[in-house]
Amino acid sequence: MYLRRRQEIAELSAGQQPGEAPPHVDYLPVEDDVWRTVSAALADLHERYAVDEYRAGAAALNLPTVCVPQLSEVSARLGSLTGWRVQAVPGLVPTRMFYGSLASRTFMSTQYVRHPSVPFYTPEPDIIHELIGHVNALASPRIAAVYEAAGRASLRADTPADLERFSRVFWFTLEFGVAMQHGGLRTFGAGLLSSFGEIQAFRNASIREVDVEAMATFDYDISHFQEVLFSSPSFDVAEARMLAFFDGFGV
């Protein structure tokens, strides 16, 4: 039943062309329940563990809390804030396509909702991860600029090895980046911001100072909580370091 539902939602966006508005999805009550449960739980955790810049973006975007948002409405709101848009995709897309779209201020998002039996976990990105983790951040002009710089950098990755190096730095920054703020460790990474479990546990990881060379070659496992994270002394420093790496990548 669940897999059939996922396929139904995926088929709505199959064949979508760049620039087309995301299709409308008639979400089921159980899907709205999952969104409502996770959205409320994460909002409380973001107050404690998310950096101020992310929370400012989330406040500006103001995603609905009682039902799954329609991507078309989110995209329109995001466009008015930072000039970005959301494009619906059926599922995972090729790595180069996903990263490359960021250069044109486009974020590719799935529309399905994770299984209701495990509302706080998903083995692959769903609309909760996409919107709460990434798109909230894209409503911050500062973070959106970093994503755009990352997209441009990915287009300069001429070889698979270059793309892998880029991807690892993206992983340890925009997916799992952390920084000191208000006397404690906070996060701006989408992977942490959308994970009910890991956002509460990330401070137990081995925290290392940001080292781009180490990040670019460090192995990671997507199937469990990250054992090593790279931190900056402030979000301002993290932002400067990310922009320096992405703007200089492949130049």
**Counting runs of H as helices and runs of E as strands, what totals does the chain give?**
13, 6
How many angstroms separate the CA atoms of 54 and 191, rounded?
Answer: 13
Catalytic residue among 75, 194, 195, 232: 194
Q: Which domains does the chain have, with CATH numbers?
A: 2-248 (1.10.800.10)
As a whole number of Å, the end-to-end CA separation of the chain is 49
Active site residue 129: yes
pTM of the model: 0.95
Active site residue 198: no
Catalytic residue among 53, 148, 175, 239: 175
Each residue's pLDDT expressed in tens, for the chain with a length of 251 residues: 889 999 999 999 998 888 889 999 999 999 999 999 999 999 999 999 999 999 999 999 999 999 999 999 999 999 999 999 999 999 989 999 999 999 999 999 999 999 888 877 777 789 999 999 999 999 999 999 999 999 999 999 999 999 999 999 999 999 999 999 999 999 999 999 999 999 999 999 999 999 999 999 999 988 889 999 999 999 999 999 999 999 999 87
Residue 63: what pLDDT?
98
Active site residue 46: no
Residue 17: what pLDDT?
83
Q: Which helix (H) or strand (E) holds 185?
A: strand 184-187
How many angstroms separate the CA atoms of 170 and 104, rounded?
Answer: 17
CA 69 to chain centre: 16
How many angstroms separate the CA atoms of 226 and 207, rounded?
Answer: 10
What value does the CA radius of gyration of the chain take, rounded to a whole number of Å?
A: 17
Tokens 């990755």 belong to which residue? 157
Active site residue 134: yes
Q: Which helix (H) or strand (E) holds 208?
A: strand 206-209
Catalytic residue among 39, 134, 148, 198: 134
Catalytic residue among 75, 129, 154, 195: 129
How many angstroms separate the CA atoms of 166 and 172, rounded?
Answer: 10
